[in-house]
Amino acid sequence: MFLSVFDMFKVGVGPSSSHTMGPMVAAARFLDLLRSSPFHAKGLRASLHGSLAFTGVGHATDRATILGLAGFEPATYDAEKAETTLAAIKATRTITPPGLPELHFDPSADLLFDYGPALPGHANGMIIKATDAQGDVILQETYYSIGGGFVLTASEMADAGSAKAKARADVPYPFESADEMMAMSKASGLTIAQMKRANELKFRSAADLDRGMERIWQVMNDCISRGMEGTGILPGGLKVRRRAKGIHDALIAERGLNMTAPHTINDWMSLYAMAVNEENAAGGQVVTAPTNGAAGVVPAVIRYWLDHVPGASASRVGDFMLTAAAIGGLVKHNASISGAECGCQAEVGSAAAMAAAGLAAVLGGTTEQIENAAEIALEHHLGMTCDPVKGLVQVPCIERNGLGAIKAVSAASLALRGDGIHLVSLDVCIETMRQTGRDMHEKYKETSLGGLAVNVPNC
C-alpha cells in the first residue's frame, strides 16, 4: 500500500477538505472529462447528496462546486478572483471554464441540494452533468469526496480493491498494516521515516521530495502565523470570535514571569492548533493533515516541538511528516479519515495519531514506541462524533484541534516512557475505529442533525 506524503498533506482552501476541496476537485475532473468528450455541451448542472447536501452551505460546498466548474483548484485558489468570478456567474447565469466555450449555468436552478437518501458509494456524493442546447444530458459522472480532499468516481470506488492490490508491488516497503510496518522496519533496520522516504523516491527525486515537504511546512507555519494575527468574527452566522490572537498576546505578556504555571504549555499547543483552524474556518489557505477539519493538530505539534523542546531542529521536520504520513496512510487504507463516514474520530483522532507518531519519531522513539504513540492518541478519540453547529467547521472543531494536539503530545510522551510493548495494537485500534464509525448513527456524522448541532442555538 502506498499513499504519498503529498496525498496526506495537500495545500488547499478552507473550511473543509471533503466538503470544499473535494467538490472543487471533482468539478475540475469533470471539466477534464468534458474537454476530451466528442459532445458539444451548452450547459452544466450539479447535484449534491448525503452529507454534502445537509451541511453544504455551511461548508461552502455550493461555492466550491461552482468555482470548480469555473476552473478553480484548491492548491492555486485565489480568494479575490473567486469572489469576482462568483459574482459574474450569478449575474450572467453563464460559466466559461478554461478550454471550453461559454456554458449556461444558473446557480439557483442548476445546483441542486438533494436531501433524500445518500448515493450508494459514500456519504459525500455528487453528480455533475453536461447538457445540450435542449437541456438534455449528454455527459454525466458521479463523484465521491471520501475525505482529505480525495475524490473517486463511482467506477473508481468499485475498483478500489484492485487498485490497492496493485499498489503493493510499486514500492520497496508496501506495508498495509502497522504489524507489517514494524516487521519491515525490524528486517530492514530502517526507521518508519526511512522506509517511507524509500517509497517516495520511487516516484520523485530526493530534491523534489525535500522541496515539497519544505513547502508543506512553510504553508502550515504561515497559516499558524496568520491565525495568531487574525481578529474579528468568523463567517457563517454563529458570530464566533477569533481567539488565537488574544491567547497569543496573553502568553507573550506572561513570558518570563516566575508564577507561570507548568500547564501553560498546553495553551501554546492549543493556540497553534486554533490559529490554523480559525484560518480554515475563514476560508484561508491550509494544509490537509489529514483533513481540513483536523488541519491544526499536526502543525501545532511540529511548532510546539520546534519552539519549546530543547534540541529540536527544522532539518528533521521531514522525518516528522514522513512518519505521520505513514500512520495516516494506514488509517485511511484500513478505516477512514472522513467525518461523514466515521465521525470526528476519523479526523481529529487520525490527526492526533499522526502527530503523536511524528513527535515520537523526532524525539528518538523506536518503531514500536512510535506505533504505541499513534495507538494511544487514536484510542482516546474512539467514538468521537462529528456534529458541527450549523454545519460550520467552527464549533466544536476549532477547540477540538487544540485538545487533539495536547493528546498527541501526551501520547508520544507516554509511549517514550515505555518500551513499546502494550496491550492494544494500532491495527486493532484502527479496526475498532472503523467498526465504531460503521455503527455510529448517521446524524452524528457531519450531517449536523444530532449532538451539539441541534442542542446549541445556531443563530
Which residue is it, cell 508543506?
216
Question: Has residue 165 got a pLDDT over 50?
Answer: no
Q: How far is residue 134's CA from residue 245's CA, in Å, rounded to a whole number?
A: 54
What's the pLDDT score for residue 458?
73
- Those residues whose C-beta lies under 8 Å from the C-beta of residue 124, and which sit 6 or more positions away, are 18, 19, 22, 50, 51, 52, 144, 145, 146, 147, 338, 340
Give the pLDDT band of residue 161 (cuts 50, 70, 90).
low
This prediction's pTM = 0.94
Question: Has residue 169 got a pLDDT over 70?
Answer: no
Joined together, the cell numbers standing for residue 285 give 489557505
What's the pLDDT score for residue 75?
92
% of the chain exceeding 90 in pLDDT: 94
What's the pLDDT score for residue 415?
98
| Residue pLDDT, tens place only, 280-318 | 999 999 999 999 999 999 999 999 999 999 999 999 999
Name the residue among 328, 321, 322 with its Cα closest to residue 349.
328
| Residue pLDDT, tens place only, 377-411 | 999 999 999 999 999 999 999 999 999 999 999 99
In residues, how long is the chain?
Answer: 459
Question: Has residue 459 got a pLDDT over 90?
Answer: no
* Residue 260, phi then psi, degrees to nearest 5: -65, 130
What's the pLDDT score for residue 158?
85
Mean pLDDT within 225-239: 97
What's the pLDDT score for residue 260?
87
Joined together, the cell numbers standing for residue 435 give 467498526
Give the pLDDT band of residue 259 (cuts 50, 70, 90).
confident
Q: Give how far Cα 147 sits from Cα of 72, 102, 203, 278, 444, Å.
A: 19, 31, 23, 20, 16
Question: Has residue 163 got a pLDDT over 60?
Answer: no
Mean pLDDT within 316-345: 97
CB 110 within 8 A of CB 46: yes
Dihedral angle at the C-alpha atoms of 367, 371, 372, 373, nearest 10 degrees? 100
Mean pLDDT within 81-106: 97
Which domains are seen in the chain, by residue range? 16-159 (3.30.1330.90), 171-455 (1.10.4100)
